[in-house]
């Protein structure tokens, strides 16, 4: 496999205009990349194969980083299961197929922790990814992403095509999506707490009963992992990207509230779903295969995120 030398590569980053994409672009530029193409959906609908082929003709990439996804929290997944399945499956499958024909030398796609079984032993190890059905509310999204893993392995075996799929935990950080309907738990909590404090509310309402656990990875750390895998990982076995800890939602909420300086009551709406019961990844494979490990402390990253939102309210 030809080595990656960023100053001489032409890199397509799907989803490069998004939250994680911004950090990936920062990391690519830090490592010397100058020719970076970020396709926008208004110009290239990646669900359409002809648009994907046109993108490759226009950009002539040597490396493709596929970060684009149709995503959202529990509510958005519950409202759009068909769209989340179809759009995510077709984007990924077609980008990989067209990359093979276009002579792309490396493709790294982003999967999702939602691909893991609902009752997966903790910490989640890559070997367990097929040992059960995902949590129902986000199974269509998770399974669509998991098909890219099958494709990557099959294409390496049959065509010698160099690609891999990485499986990150929930990401957070400055510049996240803070929309209350489509965001994930941390930005939603930050927005709720800051707005409640500013309005003088006496309480906030949080979904579920707080018993679920989650692991969170700063998007800057995730970007470093994606670029490191591009440079040094030459297999198609799945690889987790995580921070190596779990926190109960019932402990996360008061932590976020404290950092947001919200002192009111936390009301748990137990009529709403918790999502997957527990989440925490085994990240030893990423360390062994391409020398990556998360560096940013959780409370440090949360404080940075809160500060950014207060300076850039939605």
**What pLDDT, in 10s, does the model give residues 43-52?**
999 999 999 9
* Over residues 110-124, mean pLDDT: 93
Whether residue 93 contacts residue 151, with contact meaning beta carbons closer than 8 Å, is answered with yes
Collapsed DSSP state (helix, strand, coil) of residue 309:
helix
Domains of the chain: 6-173+216-244+279-296 (3.40.50.720)
Q: Does the pLDDT value for residue 78 go beyond 90?
A: no
Residue 91 CA to residue 88 CA, distance in Å, equals 5
Task: Give dist(CA 127, CA 201) in Å, integer.
Answer: 46
Give dist(CA 262, CA 258) in Å, integer.
6
Average pLDDT of 74-93? 90
pLDDT digits (tens, 9 = 90+) for 276-290: 788 899 999 999 999
Contact 12, 63 (CB under 8 A): yes
3-state secondary structure of 268: strand
Q: How far is CA 263 from CA 170, 188, 251, 302, in A?
A: 26, 17, 15, 17
Whether the pLDDT of residue 293 is over 70: the answer is yes
Mapped onto helix, strand or coil, the DSSP state of residue 52 is helix
Percent share of the chain, pLDDT over 90: 87
Q: Is it the case that residue 301 has pLDDT exceeding 70?
A: yes
Q: Is the pLDDT of residue 95 over 80?
A: yes
Percent of the chain at pLDDT > 70 equals 98
Mean pLDDT of the 109-134 span: 95
Mind spelling out the 3-state secondary structure of 179-217?
Answer: CCCCCCHHHHHHHHHHHHHHHCCCEEEEECCCCCEECEE
Burial class from Cβ neighbours inside 10 Å (0-12, 13-18, 19+) for residue 129 reads buried
**Predicted confidence (pLDDT) at residue 2 exceeds the cutoff of 60:** no
Distance of CA 35 to the CA centre of its chain: 24
Spot the catalytic one: 23, 56, 116, 141: 141
CA distances from 120 to 80, 128, 166, 280 (A): 24, 7, 18, 10
End-to-end Cα spacing for the chain: 44
Please state, rounded to an integer, the average pLDDT across all residues of the chain.
95
Catalytic (active site) residue 56: no
Return the residue matching tokens 């779903």: 273
How many other C-beta atoms can be found within 10 angstroms of the C-beta atom of residue 207?
20
Structure token pair of residue 199: 């309005």
Using the CB atoms, write b or e for 170-197: b if 16+ within 10 Å. bbbbbbbbbeeebbbbbbbbbbbbbbbb
């Amino acid at each position: 496999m030809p080595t990656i030398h960023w100053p001489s590569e032409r890199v397509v980053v799907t989803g490069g205009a998004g939250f994680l994409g911004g950090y990936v672009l920062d990391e690519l530029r830090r490592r010397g990349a100058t020719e970076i193409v970020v396709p926008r959906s208004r110009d290239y609908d990646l669900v359409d194969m002809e648009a994907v082929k046109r993108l490759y003709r226009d950009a002539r990439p040597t490396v493709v980083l596929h970060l684009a996804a149709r995503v959202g929290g529990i509510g958005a997944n519950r409202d759009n299961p068909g769209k989340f399945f179809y759009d995510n499956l077709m984007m990924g499958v077609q980008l990989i197929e067209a990359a093979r024909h276009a002579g792309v030398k490396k493709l790294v796609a982003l999967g999702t922790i939602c691909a893991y079984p609902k009752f997966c032993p903790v910490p989640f190890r890559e070997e367990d990814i097929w040992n059960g059905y995902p949590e129902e509310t986000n199974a269509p999204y998770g399974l669509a992403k998991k098909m890219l893993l099958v494709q990557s392995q099959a294409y390496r075996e049959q065509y010698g095509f160099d690609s891999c799929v990485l499986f990150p935990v929930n990401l957070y950080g400055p510049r996240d999506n803070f929309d209350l309907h489509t965001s994930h738990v941390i930005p939603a909590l930050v927005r709720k707490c800051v707005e409640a404090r500013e309005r003088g509310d006496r309480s906030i309402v949080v979904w579920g009963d707080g018993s679920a656990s989650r692991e969170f990875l700063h998007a800057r750390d995730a970007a470093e992992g994606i670029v490191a895998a591009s440079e040094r990982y030459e297999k198609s076995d799945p690889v987790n990207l995580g921070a190596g800890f779990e926190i109960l939602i019932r402990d996360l909420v008061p932590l976020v509230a404290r950092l947001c300086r919200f002192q009111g009551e936390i009301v748990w709406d137990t009529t709403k779903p918790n999502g997957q019961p527990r989440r925490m990844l085994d990240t030893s494979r990423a360390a062994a295969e391409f020398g990556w490990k998360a560096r940013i402390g959780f409370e440090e990253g949360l404080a940075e995120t809160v500060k950014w939102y207060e300076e850039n309210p939605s």
